[in-house]
Chains A and B, each alone.
Chain A
Amino acid sequence: MIDYDSLLAEKVRQIKPSGIRRFFDIANEMDHVISLGVGEPDFRTPWAIRQAGIHSLEKGHTWYTANAGLAELRNEIADYLERRFQISYRSKDEILVTVGGSEAIDLAIRACINPGDEVLIPEPCFVAYSPITALTNGVPVPIETKAEDGFRLTAKALKEKITPKTKLLIFPFPNNPTGAVMRKEHLEEIAEVLRDTNILVLSDEIYAELTYGSQNHVSIASLPGMWERTVVVSGFSKAFAMTGWRLGYAAAPAPIMKQMIKVHQFAVMCAPTTSQHAAVEALKSCGEEIVKMREEYDMRRHFIVDGLNKLGLTCFNPEGAFYVFPSVQSTGLSSEDFCQKLLYAQRVAVVPGNSFGESGEGFVRISYSYSIEHLMEALKRIEAFLKTL
């Protein structure tokens, strides 16, 4: 008999499976569950983009692309980043097309981290940063963000965690799961701390197109002294409702990119060709589609925040992404208990906040990438559940 436990990589075996996954395995066994758990748009990819993918197949574009991605797509990405966020990258050697933002995160961390390097990770946050850091023998150092700060990273909290070993700050805003956004003035505070250090920044801006209110998303790379230390990670999944196409990108100074592209080349060769052709169309002609989807999310956001607050599940008003992160402390239940009881009693699936880091305890993540009718039904059930407590 093979003793797998002794054979398989210790580092990998130590990774805990995602808390979200575990929870949904239960939900999937049940009937008539209505979910508020999904982390991807409910919209289908706009038809023009799907058509572009189909056309590329009809024309027989079925080969690999250049490792860094189609030149035309990289040009479009460079134009887009300049146009939308006033950050400039040379398409030739500062932009890399990846298999989702996910791969870009993986590459950036792998390209930066030596064993023992500390990686600062504001939590609650997306679940991938910490395990990938651990795989590269880096040391994940969580920084707790708090509801009273609107789940923003503060200069003070950042400074407290910086040591001589700090190599990289993960900067995940707009944030999954809290919906927190760092506005320009908040970014300035962070930049001030980092400017005279050797700390690099991985700015995960996958939700950049989904910020609400009058102000546009601001990239931390656009602040003085930040461009040269920042890897911007983004992608098509959320902005263009293209999760299944698996397409994202990184933009970074050439010396960082040069290392990232080696890992990319040997790990995946290139991002999916069909998806790249579709993405060209997305950037060229689908600005209006983004606006429509954003407006729809915005209405749902108002609806769900209002509904939850009325039920006594206080939630701060998220300004980005498509999640709300209400507190369940008023119920006296832990995050996990709340979710489990809600699931069994009313068949509504939401995600326990502690899946996104310890500081998420006492909260749950609710996604509003669902129709208003779906959200209404969910709120009704949550109300019924709260009455039984």
Chain B
Amino acid sequence: MNRLLNLLDKNCRLTNEQLAVMLDTTAEKVAAAIESYETQGIIHGYKAAIDWDKTDREYVIARIEIKVIPMRDHGFDEIARTIYSYDEVETCYLMSGGYDLAVTVSGKNFKDIALFVSQKLAPIDAVQSTSTHFVLKKYKERGVLLAEKERDMREDVL
């Protein structure tokens, strides 16, 4: 049923009936599969892919690379929880390589984010250093092109 997940990943507004037709199965089976994905935590939610830049909402995001010092009884998972529990944090990944946590933070403007870093992140004991990079433009997000509008350029040939 990976194909079901692929379909939902692209468009989670398709009805169970539509999904069933496309996958050559029944709506009941689709409903059961989706429920099972939800209980297993494979499907976490159904969010619209919104390009906030095109709205009048003030919205800035930054990627912050964080180096942390894990301590006894206070490993990466605990530090991550302290960080991702802030609403401002949109994504939080444990990374291999030059730093430990990659965090995406959103705010109304650059200052918001700068304040979040200096007042919320930096003071955390385990946080050794942060490096903040503001996003200037999003080209592609979760497989969807944001920067260029896809237009059907096919001509009628024969």
Binds B, one of A68-76, A77-85, A259-267, A298-306: A298-306
How far apart sit A24 and B155, CA to CA, in the bound complex (Å)? 10
Q: Is the interface of B mostly helix, strand, loop or mixed?
A: loop
Given contacts A299-B3, A372-B14, contact A20 B22 (CB under 8 A): no
A38 within 8 A of B: yes
A295 within 8 A of B: yes
**Contact call B156/A127, Cβ cutoff below 8 A:** no
User: Which residues of chain B come closer than 8 Å to A295, judged between CB atoms?
Assistant: 3
Give the distance to chain A from B87, nearest Cβ to Cβ, in Å.
32
With beta carbons under 8 angstroms apart, the residue of A35, A40, A299, A373 that contacts B22 is: A299
**Contact call A39/B22, Cβ cutoff below 8 A:** no
A159 within 8 A of B: no
**Contact call A303/B158, Cβ cutoff below 8 A:** no
Give the distance to chain A from B22, nearest Cβ to Cβ, in Å.
4
Interface residues of A in 107-147 (CB under 8 A from B): 126-128
Interface Cβ pair total, 8 Å cutoff: 42
Give the distance to chain B from A193, nearest Cβ to Cβ, in Å.
30
**Contact call A21/B158, Cβ cutoff below 8 A:** yes
With beta carbons under 8 angstroms apart, the residue of A38, A126, A302 that contacts B156 is: A38
User: Which residues of chain B come closer than 8 Å to A35, judged between CB atoms?
Assistant: 152, 156
B23 within 8 A of A: yes
B7 within 8 A of A: yes
A-B contact pairs, 29 of them (CB 8 A): A20-B158, A24-B156, A27-B156, A28-B156, A35-B156, A37-B156, A38-B154, A39-B158, A40-B157, A42-B152, A42-B154, A126-B158, A128-B158, A295-B3, A299-B3, A299-B7, A299-B22, A299-B23, A300-B22, A302-B21, A302-B23, A303-B18, A303-B21, A306-B21, A307-B21, A372-B11, A372-B14, A372-B22, A373-B11
- 18 more contacts with CB within 8 A, not counting A128-B158, A303-B22, are A21-B156, A21-B158, A28-B156, A38-B154, A38-B156, A39-B158, A40-B154, A127-B158, A295-B3, A299-B7, A299-B23, A300-B22, A302-B21, A302-B23, A303-B18, A306-B21, A307-B21, A372-B11
Chain B residues packing against A (C-beta within 8 Å): 3, 7, 11, 14, 18, 21-24, 152, 154, 156-158
